[in-house]
Amino acid sequence: MDTLISADRLLTGPAGQQLTDAAVLVRGDRIVAVGGRDELRQQARAGSDEQHHSDATLLPGLINTHLHLVADASRDPFGAFRTSTPEAVFEAMADRALQALDAGVTTIRDLGDGHGLAFALRNEIASGTRPGPRILAAGTPLTPPDGHCWFLGGVVEGPDAIRARIRELADAGADVIKVMAGGGQTTPGGASPWESQFTLDELRLIVAEAGAVGLPVAAHAHGTQTITDCVAAGVRTIEHCGWRGGSGKPDRRDDVARRMAAAGIYAGDTTPPNWPAFAARIPFPPGHRLGDQLPWMDSLGVPIIIGTDSGMPGAVFNDFVSALEMYTELGFPNDRILQFATANAADALGLSAVTGCLAAGLAADLLVVDGDPLTDLQTLRRPRLVMARGRIHHSSAQQSEEETTADV
């Protein structure tokens, strides 16, 4: 059956593209036309469903490019993963994916789990067995012995092990290869966040082996040297991308950022919904604050995408908008913030022909929100309608104060 959805305003994307008093015609899981309401009414098949939303905006579904469904956002985020049955962990993951969808996120990229659970959930949702957002999944991240997140099971040492692991992940259905190129915060005893865990030659091998099976590479990197190596190796996205020097202090290199921009390598920012509390725990040198590498990268042409690292302590799954608010604080206009979270993200994930804009032929991934998100991002908090691949979900809109400030 056809569904004609219209609103006062359509943000078709990318930034700056919009229509007034227009509609989207949905057939099955796809958008078949976008344009004037009366014109589309004539294209709709007999018996079509029609809904008009006044004082509202229709826009593409949001894309969260970095989260971990297997983690539960508690102080010991992988604790339940280690101690529960895979069945219980799987059900909890399905619930977290639904929380993201209720908040208007129609595509998520899972950048690290264990036991192939995110692949299984992705497949169930894609087949229509379960409701949920589209999932792209990396499976188990590559890391050296005792390296960042070794406990997820992705330890590799030497070229043969790297090759074997990438083949194994590709066979299991990985959409992207995740490499812990540098250290992180959640692994006691491992490398510090600004230290590298793989050599440039190893990163080049990972990119080449992933490329041979048609997969992009997402690299976890906080440190400037690690970022520099990831740019040289030609990864697709650099996650976190915090530009820290050996001491952990900000260390930005214009030449490297320019090469990153020229190569079209995305900065995969990770701003948790509870970023004000997160920022308060980080000792910034005078003149620096959380996220201030983003306007700098943007000024040099580095493309930006937004993830929340949901699953990490305090980073809940049902609140993407709070993460977007940091971009407002940093001075980005709303149309660009929305572009980072839709069209840019789709491009970075290789989904430009699938989602990220409202256009004929793309998946029917869309939101209707009250008012105008170009003037107020808060309008995104309670979508009137969330549609994922043509399937309608209503927002739960029941997010409590308690949940949004959990564990900060």
Binding site for Zn ion (CB under 5 A): 309
3-state secondary structure 181-228: CECCCCCCCCCCCCCECCCHHHHHHHHHHHHHCCCCEEEEEEEHHHHH
Q: Check residue 133 and give left, alpha or beta (phi > 0: left; psi -120 to 50: alpha).
A: beta
| Nearest CB to Zn ion, comparing residues 221 and 338 | 221
Question: What CA–CA distance (Å, rounded) separates 356 from 229?
Answer: 30
Query: Kind and range of the H or E element at 175?
Result: none
Smallest gap from Cβ 194 to Zn ion, in A, equals 16
Smallest gap from Cβ 112 to Zn ion, in A, equals 6
| Nearest CB to Zn ion, comparing residues 202 and 309 | 309
Question: What CA–CA distance (Å, rounded) separates 383 from 221?
Answer: 34
Question: What CA–CA distance (Å, rounded) separates 399 from 401?
Answer: 7
| Nearest CB to Zn ion, comparing residues 271 and 344 | 271
The order of strands in the sheet holding 62-67 is 62-67, 105-110, 134-137
Smallest gap from Cβ 68 to Zn ion, in A, equals 6
| Nearest CB to Zn ion, comparing residues 309 and 319 | 309
Smallest gap from Cβ 385 to Zn ion, in A, equals 30
Smallest gap from Cβ 111 to Zn ion, in A, equals 5
What is the number of other CB atoms lying within 10 angstroms of the CB of residue 201? Answer: 11
Smallest gap from Cβ 307 to Zn ion, in A, equals 7
Question: What CA–CA distance (Å, rounded) separates 256 from 78?
Answer: 34
| Nearest CB to Zn ion, comparing residues 309 and 365 | 309
Q: Nearest-CB residue to Zn ion?
A: 309
* Ordered alpha helix ranges (H), 60-199: 79-83, 86-102, 117-126, 159-172
| Nearest CB to Zn ion, comparing residues 31 and 138 | 138
Smallest gap from Cβ 220 to Zn ion, in A, equals 7
| Nearest CB to Zn ion, comparing residues 309 and 370 | 309
The DSSP secondary structure of 280-341, one letter per residue, reads: HTS-PPTT--TTTHHHHHHHTT--EEEE--BTBTT--SS-SHHHHHHHHHTT--HHHHHHII
